[in-house]
């Protein structure tokens, strides 16, 4: 009788297959995952694998050759321009598919499809901010213009050409881990990616909600001192003393502004949870031939963004018979975003301008179908958002659109605070625009006139486009479509029932802050306010002052500049803020109240070389001390409100301390005693010492150990194995080398516009998004050392060069 | 002789079936059962042939991939799963899972035939 063993064996076998075929909680289905034919092993690429392939696609017009160099940088040579962007799309998909899929789903408020219920609130916030609305408006502009349409169509076709031939085996590993599949590309998704950048760079540059709460705490003259528009030590982008023309637009404050706006006090019980990092910023600068050793201009750029694996950037060369450009592209979008061609080079930093305002809306009733505007009920447009959720039921959310834009916060979405207020958002990123064409034109620009023409139509996010040409011209424009505001407009929530509070117009493009060939021979931008107080418009923003001061002073003092000097400036660790603060802080600390250990830390701080280098202990002491001081001065006042009122910027606090030794805000309002500044600074120092003692016990006193510079995988804590942690680098947000824990110089580039352009660059990542490739993170150690790769603008006749390690031939089928 | 034939058949079907898009990852299990039913030998040998055939197919293929990859990915996956970052443990598990399934499947085939023949 063999039936019993048969039944036992069969049920064991079937049981095991079924068990291994089911995802176990967060882990993938093990059978499929372990299978070396379809599972993760297939993502383990041969160590030296650089492709050599022939591919053919029906939608191509002619031949395109892609030469991969030893760093896996593709040098794309296309006979036809559309094919160029098709191949760019194909390569982005081939090396970064999960990245572009995830980022654009998240941009569209569809993260829950991959992440499950925990992302529902994120998705709601994205949709209520109008991300899809913004992308749809952009898409209409993109598709209106035949040239831009053909570029975006070709790019989309290229991405899909890769997706369509994907097999389970070749699926990026993240999909295998999450048991998901990629979605085909569309032009809308390219538009969404650009709106993701717009959100990253122009959505967190206002504090309207928390400013409105600050109005309840501080008097009008205090508000002016705490939140100043022009810092004392500002060294603006447009050199000081430049003359500005008379403004063509003069916005008028509404008659009711004093009563209804400036003195109106009401708590705002809402805040957005997914704000971009306030240190999303950048440095760029350019020096004219008059200041360089070679006599040719040198341009440098380092955009500071979240550092991730894969990187936000993908390096490439795009060449057709008529043009050739090299630089970094944004996977998910065609063109090169930061780079150079045979005639010019350009770079970008963020303008940090406030282009987003909130308006309080009065609905007629709970249906939100009508709202009060200019003395009558106006209809809203209701948009029903369908949020699909992995392993759960679909969620629906209705968003009301007004004349200003979507009502982001209302009774059905107010982050759990009890007081419901309806807040509509007016955001420049909602307006129809086609930013991609600026990059298309920059990629092809030959001179200053081309550059000026290229950037003219760039609307949002406002950027500082730095420029240099072989002809010797250097220039910078702060470019964007910025609202012309009456003084104070948009700092706080505005009444949404009166059109006189709406944006009255935009600053004419020609009046945007700019400079061409200044006498001093250099230009720089580092997220500071673009112009001094003589600029005739009110331009609030989330400006950062310290880096610009350091860069400006360094460049002013330099002559006979070489590219190596510019690289050295990228790595600069000097702490300008600490230089200003140290004498003030040391003056106020009451040393007689300190223990021996505390005196030791104070001594370290007093003798520190002011460099935020990786092994510095002084920088750790300073940062702990300074954070503690800011907290001791402001926290008692700001936490009177919930959500908290806006923190004064580091620069504002610094300047108040330097100017005013009897700072009235020093007193801790929560204690009966009246604390003076020395009291508070001494208390703050003692608190900082407690933190330092803890760090000391953990052997984390050295700055890089304290900060733990890391580059995480896009899925962050879900996949720590794919991250690179504990990098040996220093810096901080206010320092030129602006590295923070997982944020900082996402691309460093130096371009020397000599007869044959010389260029260098590096980003902390690698060309491949596949953790199973050696090219996943191979640039990190180069970046960590502060070194650069030479950037090779390959010529067609160099196809036999030893640097070429692989070729993909694209042909029309 | 029969043992080698069974082992080879399991090995080859295990390698071949997995690379076709229409067959699910567990296609080799069915093949191993058929081999177990058609190649007649003792239960122990049947299991061993199935086990070793798939251990060599999955383990061998994974090892070959891993060697070419210099364990870049397996070390990371061995942290995700979690196996303390050991590529060897991951290889062992891969081979054993394949082997165990094929061995059990072969044994099922073996006893199925025995039940019918009786």
Is A782 within the bounds of a domain? no
Last residue of a domain, one of A428, A452, A467: A428
Last residue of a domain, one of A413, A428, A443: A428
Q: In the prediction, which pLDDT does A671 show?
A: 85
CATH of the domain at A662: 1.10.1400
Residues 6+ apart with CB under 8 A from A443: A318, A323, A325, A335, A336, A339, A341
Is A239 within the bounds of a domain? no
Is A92 within the bounds of a domain? yes
| Backbone Cα Rg of chain B | 15
The candidate with the shortest Cα–Cα distance to A363, out of A377, A374, A382, A375, is A377
* Binary contact (A721, B77; C-beta < 8 A): yes
Work out the pLDDT band at A415, boundaries 50, 70, 90.
low
B-chain residues near A44 (CB < 8 A): 65-66, 68-69, 72-74
As for how many domains chain A has, the answer is 2
Q: Which two tokens stand for residue A790?
A: 């030479």
Q: Distance, in angstroms, between A754 CA and closest chain B CA?
A: 41
The CA distance from A408 to A124, in Å, is: 9
pTM of the predicted protein model: 0.95
The CA distance from A339 to A327, in Å, is: 4
Q: In the prediction, which pLDDT does A781 show?
A: 97
In chain A, % helix, strand, coil (3-state, to 5) comes to 35, 20, 45
In chain B, % helix, strand, coil (3-state, to 5) comes to 80, 0, 20
Mean pLDDT of chain A: 94
Using a 10 angstrom Cβ sphere, with 0-12 exposed, 13-18 middle and 19 or more buried, the burial of residue A432 is: middle
Q: Which two tokens stand for residue A379?
A: 């209809």
The CA distance from A239 to A552, in Å, is: 10
Fill in the DSSP letter of residue A711: B
* Binary contact (B29, A13; C-beta < 8 A): yes
Work out the pLDDT band at A229, boundaries 50, 70, 90.
very high
CATH of the domain at A69: 1.10.439.10
Cis peptide before A4 (omega within 30 of 0): no
Phi first, then psi, for residue A246 (nearest 5°) are -60, 135
The CA distance from A9 to A321, in Å, is: 67
Residue A111 predicted with pLDDT over 90: yes
* Binary contact (B62, A27; C-beta < 8 A): no
Q: Are A747 and A303 within 8 A, CB to CB?
A: yes
Work out the pLDDT band at B21, boundaries 50, 70, 90.
confident
- Residue in B closest to A4 by C-alpha: B111
The predicted-structure confidence for A178-216, as pLDDT tens digits, reads as follows 989 999 999 999 999 999 999 999 998 999 999 999 998
A-chain residues near B85 (CB < 8 A): 721
Is A421 within the bounds of a domain? yes
- Residue in B closest to A5 by C-alpha: B111
Q: Which residues of A522-547 are buried (b: 16+ CB within 10 A; e: fewer)?
A: bbbbbbbbbbbeebbbbbbbbbbbbb
Region of poorest pLDDT, from A659-668, A696-705, A768-777, A802-811: A659-668
Secondary structure of residue A766 in the 3-state scheme: coil
By Cβ distance, the residue of B33, B61, B79 closest to A721 is B79
Is A6 within the bounds of a domain? no
Residue A417 predicted with pLDDT over 80: no
Q: Is the dihedral of CA A779, A785, A786, A787 positive or negative?
A: negative
Q: In the prediction, which pLDDT does A424 show?
A: 96
Is A329 within the bounds of a domain? no
Q: Are A340 and A326 within 8 A, CB to CB?
A: yes
Chain Cα centroid distance, residue A762: 17
Give the CA count within 13 Å in the CB-facing half-sphere of A268.
29
Q: In the prediction, which pLDDT does A768 show?
A: 97
Is A68 within the bounds of a domain? yes
The candidate with the shortest Cα–Cα distance to A490, out of A539, A445, A451, A536, is A539
Last residue of a domain, one of A655, A675, A701: A701
Mean pLDDT, residues A744-755? 97
Q: Which domain, by its residues, includes A155?
A: 50-201+359-428
The predicted-structure confidence for A283-327, as pLDDT tens digits, reads as follows 999 999 999 999 999 999 999 999 999 999 999 999 999 999 999
* Binary contact (B111, A9; C-beta < 8 A): yes
Q: In the prediction, which pLDDT does A663 show?
A: 76
- ipTM exceeding 0.90, yes/no: yes
* Binary contact (B76, A721; C-beta < 8 A): yes
Chain Cα centroid distance, residue A785: 23
Residue A644 predicted with pLDDT over 90: no
B-chain residues near A16 (CB < 8 A): 100-101, 104
Percent of chain A whose predicted confidence (pLDDT) is above 90: 87
Is A569 within the bounds of a domain? no
Give the CA count within 13 Å in the CB-facing half-sphere of A537.
28
Cis peptide before A184 (omega within 30 of 0): no
- For every residue of A217-262, DSSP letters joined together read HS-HHHHHHHS-SS-TT---SSPTT---PPPS------TTIIIIII
Q: In the prediction, which pLDDT does A271 show?
A: 78
* Binary contact (B100, A16; C-beta < 8 A): yes
Q: In the prediction, which pLDDT does A12 show?
A: 92
* Binary contact (A771, B73; C-beta < 8 A): yes
Residue A149 predicted with pLDDT over 80: yes
Q: In the prediction, which pLDDT does B23 show?
A: 86
The CA distance from A654 to B88, in Å, is: 56
The CA distance from A403 to A497, in Å, is: 10
Residue A418 predicted with pLDDT over 50: no
Q: Are A109 and A385 within 8 A, CB to CB?
A: yes
What counts of helices (H) and strands (E) characterise chain B? Answer: 6, 0
Mean pLDDT, residues A216-229? 91
Mean pLDDT, residues B98-118? 89
The predicted-structure confidence for A685-734, as pLDDT tens digits, reads as follows 999 999 999 999 999 999 999 999 999 999 998 899 999 999 999 999 99
């Amino acid at each position: 009788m063999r039936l019993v063993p048969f039944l036992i064996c069969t049920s064991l076998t079937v049981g095991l297959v079924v068990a291994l075929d089911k995802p176990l909680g967060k882990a993938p289905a093990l059978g499929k995952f372990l299978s070396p034919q379809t599972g993760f092993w297939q993502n383990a690429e041969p160590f030296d694998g650089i492709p050599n392939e022939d591919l053919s696609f029906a939608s191509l017009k002619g031949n395109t050759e892609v030469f991969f160099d030893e760093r896996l940088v593709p040098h794309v040579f296309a006979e036809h321009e559309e094919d160029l962007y098709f191949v760019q799309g194909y390569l982005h998909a081939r090396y970064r598919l999960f990245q572009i899929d995830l980022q654009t789903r998240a941009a569209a408020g569809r993260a829950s499809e991959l992440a499950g219920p925990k992302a529902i609130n994120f998705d709601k916030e994205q949709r209520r901010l109008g991300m899809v609305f913004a992308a749809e408006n952009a898409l209409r502009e993109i598709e209106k213009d035949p040239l831009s349409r053909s570029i975006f169509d070709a790019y989309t076709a290229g991405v899909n050409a890769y997706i369509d031939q994907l097999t389970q085996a070749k699926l990026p590993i993240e999909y295998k881990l999450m048991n998901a599949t990629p979605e085909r590309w569309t032009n809308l998704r390219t538009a969404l990616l650009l709106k993701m950048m717009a959100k990253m760079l122009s959505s967190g540059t206002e504090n309207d909600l928390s400013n409105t709460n600050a109005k309840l705490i501080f008097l009008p003259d205090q508000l002016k001192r705490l939140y100043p528009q022009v810092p004392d030590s500002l060294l603006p982008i447009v050199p000081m003393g430049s003359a500005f023309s008379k403004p063509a637009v003069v916005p008028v404050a509404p008659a009711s502004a004093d009563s209804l706006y400036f003195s109106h006090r009401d708590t705002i019980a809402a805040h957005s949870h997914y704000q971009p990092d306030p240190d999303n910023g950048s440095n760029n600068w350019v020096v004219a031939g008059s200041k360089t050793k070679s006599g040719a201009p040198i341009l440098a750029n380092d955009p500071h963004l979240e550092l991730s694996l894969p990187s936000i950037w993908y390096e490439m060369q795009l060449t057709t018979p008529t043009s050739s450009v090299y630089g970094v592209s944004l996977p998910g979008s065609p063109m090169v975003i930061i780079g150079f061609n045979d005639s010019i080079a350009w770079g970008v930093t963020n303008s940090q301008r406030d282009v987003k305002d909130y308006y309080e809306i009065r609905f007629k009733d709970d249906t939100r179908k009508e709202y009060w505007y200019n003395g009558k009920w106006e209809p809203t447009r209701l948009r029903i958002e369908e949020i699909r959720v992995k392993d759960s039921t679909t969620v629906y959310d209705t968003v009301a659109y007004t004349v200003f834009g979507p009502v982001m916060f209302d009774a059905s979405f107010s982050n759990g605070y009890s007081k419901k207020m309806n807040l509509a958002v007016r955001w420049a990123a909602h307006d129809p625009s086609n930013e991609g064409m600026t990059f298309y034109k920059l990629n092809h620009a030959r001179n200053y006139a081309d550059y000026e023409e290229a950037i003219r139509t760039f609307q949002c996010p406002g950027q500082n486009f730095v420029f240099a040409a072989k002809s010797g011209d250097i220039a910078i424009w702060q470019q964007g479509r910025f609202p012309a505001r009456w003084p104070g407009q948009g700092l706080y929530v505005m009444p949404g029932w009166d059109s006189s509070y709406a944006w009255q117009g935009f600053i004419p493009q020609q009046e945007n802050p700019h400079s061409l060939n200044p006498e001093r021979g250099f230009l720089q931008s580092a997220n500071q306010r673009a112009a001094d107080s003589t600029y005739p418009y009110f331009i609030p923003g989330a400006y950062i002052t310290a880096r610009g001061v350091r860069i400006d002073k360094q460049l002013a003092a330099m002559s006979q500049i070489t590219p190596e000097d510019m690289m050295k400036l990228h790595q600069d660790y000097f702490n300008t803020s600490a230089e200003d603060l140290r004498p003030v802080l040391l003056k106020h600390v009451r040393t007689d109240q300190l223990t021996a250990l505390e005196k030791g830390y104070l001594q370290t701080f007093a003798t520190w070389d002011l460099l935020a280098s990786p092994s510095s202990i002084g920088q750790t002491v300073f940062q702990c001390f300074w954070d503690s001081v800011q907290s001791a001065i402001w926290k008692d006042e700001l936490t009177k409100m919930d959500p908290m009122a806006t923190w004064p910027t580091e620069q504002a606090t610094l300047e108040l301390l330097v100017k005013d030794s009897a700072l009235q805000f020093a007193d801790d309002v929560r204690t009966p005693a009246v604390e003076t500044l020395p009291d508070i600074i001494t208390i703050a120092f003692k608190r900082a010492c407690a933190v330092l003692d803890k760090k000391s016990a953990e052997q984390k006193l050295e700055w890089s150990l304290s900060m733990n510079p890391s580059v995480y995988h896009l899925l962050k804590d879900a996949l720590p194995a794919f991250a690179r942690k504990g990098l040996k680098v220093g810096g901080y947000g206010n320092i030129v080398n602006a590295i923070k824990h997982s944020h900082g110089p996402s691309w460093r580039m130096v371009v020397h516009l000599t007869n044959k352009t010389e260029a260098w660059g590096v980003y902390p990542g690698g060309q491949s998004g596949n953790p199973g490739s050696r090219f996943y993170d191979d640039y990190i150690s180069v970046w960590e050392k502060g070194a650069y790769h030479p950037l090779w603008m390959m010529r067609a006749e160099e196809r036999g060069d030893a640097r070429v390690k692989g070729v993909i031939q694209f042909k029309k089928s | 002789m029969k043992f080698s034939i069974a082992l080879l058949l399991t090995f080859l079907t295990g390698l071949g079936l997995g690379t076709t898009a229409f067959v699910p990852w567990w296609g080799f299990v069915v093949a191993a059962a058929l081999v177990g039913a058609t190649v007649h030998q003792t239960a122990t040998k049947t299991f061993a042939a199935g086990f070793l055939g798939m251990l060599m197919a999955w383990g061998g293929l994974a090892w070959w991939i891993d060697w070419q990859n210099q364990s870049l990915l397996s070390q990371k996956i061995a942290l995700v799963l979690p196996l303390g970052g050991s590529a060897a443990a991951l290889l062992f598990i891969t081979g054993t899972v394949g082997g165990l399934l094929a061995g059990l499947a072969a044994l099922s085939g073996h006893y199925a035939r025995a039940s019918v023949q009786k």
